[in-house]
Amino acid sequence: EPEVTQTPSHQVTQMGQEVILRCVPISNHLYFYWYRQILGQKVEFLVSFYNNEISEKSEIFDDQFSVERPDGSNFTLKIRSTKLEDSAMYFCASSEVVWAASYEQYFGPGTRLTVT
């Protein structure tokens, strides 16, 4: 069964450093997403991406964040200058389309980001 993969599984970084989280969405999916989950809290939407541009972003997704599809398979989330409050689990997701039953989003295993 195809699945979303993410690397690394755990990233530790110092405050102020840049991090890049990587994802490989399911191969025939066209829509890509990033979510985050701070420990003990709910999953929160960050950004969606389609056709090489951002479709929608949340208030959390400020100028410190960017996304990119650098090649035909990878989808990345960059945090330019990490803050302590960026510590969270970051999930990548993908979906085939955004309408009808195929809207279902499938999540990767996540990257645990720890900012010290």
Partner 1 sequence: RKEVEQDPGPFNVPEGATVAFNCTYSNSASQSFFWYRQDCRKEPKLLMSVYSSGNEDGRFTAQLNRASQYISLLIRDSKLSDSATYLCVVNGGSNYKLTFGKGTLLTVNP
Q: Could you list the residues that contact partner 1 (CB under 8 A)?
A: 31, 33, 35, 41-45, 48, 50, 55-56, 58, 89, 91, 98-99, 101, 103-110
Judged by beta carbon, residue 50 or residue 65, the one nearer partner 1 is 50
Minimum CB–partner distance for residue 81 and partner 1 (Å)? 25
Judged by beta carbon, residue 84 or residue 101, the one nearer partner 1 is 101
SS3 for the chain is CCCCEEECCEEEECCCCCEEEEEECCCCCCEEEEEEECCCCCCEEEEEEECCEEEEECCCCCCCEEEECCCCCCEEEEECCCCHHHCEEEEEEEECCCCHHHHCCEECCCEEEEEC
Minimum CB–partner distance for residue 17 and partner 1 (Å)? 24
Judged by beta carbon, residue 65 or residue 106, the one nearer partner 1 is 106
